[in-house]
Structure 1
Amino acid sequence: MYLKTNVNTLNELLFRKGLTKRSFAQVAGIGQVTALQVCNGQRNPSAPVAKKIVDALQTDFDSLFEIVKGETAHGCLR
């Protein structure tokens, strides 16, 4: 099981809130590289990181993330 990020919604929300990727990372309490990778769709966040993102942006989990069951992020069955 892994989280898939709705990158378009995330980036639109950052734009609406006037946050750069750097300021978003600071507000969320995550690394700048992690924030950039999540925003670019290069990395799916862990559950704790997703929680930090949702809390920092004051939005609901389901608007930004989808729980994908049956596979890992790399396509391997678990």
Structure 2
Amino acid sequence: MKIKLKDPIFFNELLIKKGFSKNSFSKAANLGQPTIVQISNGTRCPGPVAAKKIVDTLQVEFEDIFEIER
């Protein structure tokens, strides 16, 4: 099973609405900037730990931005 970003455009808009650049978000979430860039453009699927850090930092529910693909 993989964790996939539902909508990369929505995710990027959410970052902006919450006041983050990809660089500042990567620091706040304690994840590497390349990881955030790859997840945000849909070329990388986050692992469970990274997904948890992302939703916690954005203060959203998992289902708001991610889906589990079987």
Shorter-chain-normalised TM-score: which range? over 0.9
**Structure 1: segments with no counterpart, 5+ residues:** 70-78
State the 4+ residue runs in structure 1 displaced beyond 4 angstroms. Answer: none
RMSD (Å), alpha carbons: 0.8
Structure of higher RCO (CA pairs closer than 8 Å, 6+ residues apart): 2
Q: Which has the higher helix share?
A: 2
Alignment-mate amino acid for residue 12 of structure 1: E
Q: What secondary structure, in the 3-state scheme, does the structure 1 residue paired with 2:31 have?
A: coil
**Structure 2: segments with no counterpart, 5+ residues:** none
In 1: Cα distance, 2:29 partner to 2:5 partner: 16
Task: Calculate the TM-score normalised by the size of structure 2.
Answer: 0.93
1:1-78 matches, within 5 Å, as: 1-6=1-6, 7-69=8-70
Task: Calculate the TM-score normalised by the size of structure 1.
Answer: 0.84
Q: What secondary structure, in the 3-state scheme, does the structure 2 residue paired with 1:19 have?
A: coil
